[in-house]
Structure 1
Amino acid sequence: MVALLAPLEAPVEPTDALRRIAFLLERTRSGTYRVEAFRNAAKALKQLDDGEVDERVAAGTLQQIPGIGKSTSAVIEEAARGELPAYLESLQDRSGGPLASGGEDLYAALRGDCHLHSDWSDGGSPIDEMVLTGIELGHEWMVLTDHSPQLRVANGLTAERLTKQIAIVDAINRGVGEAFRLFKGIEVDILDDGALDQTDEMLARLDLVTASVHSKLRMNSAPMTKRMVAAVLNPRVNVLGHCTGRLVTGSRGTRPQSDFDAHAVFEACLEGNTAVEINSRPERQDPPDDLIELALEMGCLFAVDSDAHAPGQLDMKAYGCERAERLGVPEDRIITTWDADRVHAWANPDR
């Protein structure tokens, strides 16, 4: 079950201190440059031989290592001395508690996440770091959903790159054992005519597919409705991602929601056994409350997802849980509370 990370206490390994600082900065949406400073310092430490950290701390030469600067070297030095780094302690006090007020019971019932990205597309961290953080948070499963080819601005995966990623996911699953499962997935673009931005052969090799609209968000209602209905009725699609495309806050500004017949789209979700995503990113809050209530009334399934682009953002599901619990969405209709076998069987009824 997913849970808040317990605060770190002294003594703490320097690499663990750096990783936790980056995590806390990510979950509270700090600037990318600052987060990367701590992630890069952690990577640099992993390249050092045993004992070299202590030698460099004693000699005062940590900042000679590429990727380690003034702030990160201070954290490393304090941790190496057996102390809890002051910056880490301060962040844990300020930013280590629940992200949302409400939804705690549902958050504790979560087992997985159907929507997250790695540095294979537009995420900020490698797959193994996303997996390690997910395991630390108590996830039993996650679906790796990097973008599809059309979204070039997000370094979307061609069929060739996706094939390579599938092999890496298989290798990770062999390494982590039976307590956790990383599902092969994709966030596939819904094209203008409702087709999917990946070959059917490749989609058939995946465990779960989240489909989202990323282009021509201001399309007129009738063609947008037809586009979305076609996608959610596709037997390869399991989750409809951030259905309105809106942005309500954040550094990218705001964007109005797309215009479509929500009743028709959710009716198609019911027919296609496609879950409606409750996207937990604060800048999206998608769907809005009234559409969640409509999908709930109609009997749809839901997926409370993080849409994480960095490890710390996996915790953002707390925001989605607050909304789902407040609006009365039953736990058993949220597929991210299901165990891995149930999710896989639901997403792959013919396998």
Structure 2
Amino acid sequence: MDPVTALERIAFLLERELADPQRIEALRTAAETAAALPPEPIDAAQAARLPGVDAVTARVIADASVGRSPQYLLETEARAAAGPAPTAAAIRLREKLQGDCHLHSDWSVGTASPERMARTARALGHHWAALTDRGLAPDRLREQLDLIEQLNPRLAPFRLLTGTECEILPDGTLDQDEDLLRRLDVVVAAVHTDPGDDPAATTRRLLAAARNPLVDVLGHCTGRRLGEHPRPPAEFDADAVFTACREHDTAVEINCHPDRRDPPDDLLARAADLGCLFAIDTDAHAPGQLDWQLDGCGRAAALGLDAERVVTAWSVDHLLAWTGAR
């Protein structure tokens, strides 16, 4: 393993575990420096004098330059391998996934460029991914559409789809120009602000999105947070909302972000019982987080969901036919 590969692999794994973004950025900066080094051994003291390289990344570069697995990499991989093993059914479903309907770049809340996110998704075996940056002004979103059009010939046969994550406003409308939404391949709609403690109002808000023909995926429907700043799931009439999703062919997102894992198990089971389609999405904000889908596959497989009901297991042509028909 060469120094660049080692540094990028550590950064990828640290992104998966939601580690300190500054440490991840230091690894990627060191990888850029290491890319210019000749393919010959270098010791840690020499490496530490290179621009953008600190003592930790210098040791990684030194070890990898002589073909030795860096200790930092071994420790990071060990943490990634810890925890319960996925079921065989989860692995089988993950192998059938072809894309991801929900990811962000540095155009909004993400840390990496659209091209890096796309190339990482392709390296993970995806055939397509939808870039769904949130909160872009219409002119800025149009700029991104032009960028994606320029990127796709370089990414082929992988395809980066156009998209956005819309906020479902309190009155049920979306925070983006409707004519622009009609141009997009994939539209995810979600609530990010605290919906309050009025289940009837939250139900009306989610029903409006589920019934909106411009919305393809109902994202992290309860809005709960599980991390350092927890937020309880919003209460709403789940039967009404999920029935509307089924009747209007809107997919319910199985959000794989470890801070969300939304919807909770009981609501996910209810949506499955009511016959909904699902999108197993990462909600990734960094390249390594694109590898989170296995958790959602485990939750889906435990309910007996097959690939036919998971839109992220569909081919790009099948997916676009579905979103276009809606």
- The TM-score bracket by the shorter chain reads over 0.9
Question: Closer, same or farther in 2 for the Cα pair 1:21/1:349, shift >3 Å?
Answer: same
State the one-letter code of the partner of 1:291. L
- In the alignment, the residues of structure 2 paired with residue 173 and residue 276 of structure 1 have an alpha-carbon distance, to the nearest angstrom, of 27
2:108 to 121, 124, 132: 121
Deviations 1:317-346, CA, capped at 9 Å, x for gaps: 111111111122222101111111101110
**1:58 deviation in Å?**
6.7
- The aligned runs of 1:29-48 (5 Å cut-off) are 29-46=18-35, 48=36
State the one-letter code of the partner of 1:323. R
2:69 alignment partner in structure 1: 84
Residue identity over aligned pairs, in percent, reads: 45
Aligned residues between the structures: 324
| 2:320 pairs with 1:344 | yes
Deviations 1:79-133, CA, capped at 9 Å, x for gaps: 2233332322333344257875222221121111111111111112122221121
| 2:154 pairs with 1:167 | no
Q: Secondary structure at the residue paired with 1:115?
A: coil
1:330 alignment partner in structure 2: 306
**1:59 deviation in Å?**
9.9
Q: Secondary structure at the residue paired with 1:186?
A: strand
State the one-letter code of the partner of 1:42. A
Consecutive unaligned residues of structure 2, counting only runs of 5 or more, are none
- In the alignment, the residues of structure 2 paired with residue 44 and residue 158 of structure 1 have an alpha-carbon distance, to the nearest angstrom, of 35
2:137 alignment partner in structure 1: 158
Question: Closer, same or farther in 2 for the Cα pair 1:64/1:160, shift >3 Å?
Answer: farther
Question: Closer, same or farther in 2 for the Cα pair 1:24/1:66, shift >3 Å?
Answer: same
2:98 alignment partner in structure 1: 111
1:146 alignment partner in structure 2: 133
Consecutive unaligned residues of structure 1, counting only runs of 5 or more, are 1-11, 149-156
More moved, 88-97 vs 238-247: 88-97
Question: Closer, same or farther in 2 for the Cα pair 1:202/1:54, shift >3 Å?
Answer: farther
| 2:156 pairs with 1:177 | yes
State the one-letter code of the partner of 2:74. E
State the one-letter code of the partner of 2:299. R
2:199 to 209, 214, 221: 221
- In the alignment, the residues of structure 2 paired with residue 277 and residue 204 of structure 1 have an alpha-carbon distance, to the nearest angstrom, of 20
- CA RMSD after TM alignment: 2.1
Question: Closer, same or farther in 2 for the Cα pair 1:13/1:181, shift >3 Å?
Answer: same
TM (norm. structure 1) is 0.86
1:67 to 52, 68, 71: 52
State the one-letter code of the partner of 1:146. D
**1:194 deviation in Å?**
0.8
**1:54 deviation in Å?**
5.3
1:205 alignment partner in structure 2: 183
TM (norm. structure 2) is 0.92
**8 Å contact kept, 1:289–1:327:** no
**1:141 deviation in Å?**
0.8
**8 Å contact kept, 1:293–1:327:** yes
Q: Secondary structure at the residue paired with 1:187?
A: strand
- In the alignment, the residues of structure 2 paired with residue 58 and residue 301 of structure 1 have an alpha-carbon distance, to the nearest angstrom, of 54
Question: Closer, same or farther in 2 for the Cα pair 1:158/1:100, shift >3 Å?
Answer: farther
Q: Secondary structure at the residue paired with 1:278?
A: strand
- In the alignment, the residues of structure 2 paired with residue 83 and residue 164 of structure 1 have an alpha-carbon distance, to the nearest angstrom, of 44
Q: Secondary structure at the residue paired with 1:188?
A: strand
**1:276 deviation in Å?**
0.2
**1:78 deviation in Å?**
2.1
Q: Secondary structure at the residue paired with 1:328?
A: coil
Q: Secondary structure at the residue paired with 1:121?
A: coil
**8 Å contact kept, 1:100–1:318:** no
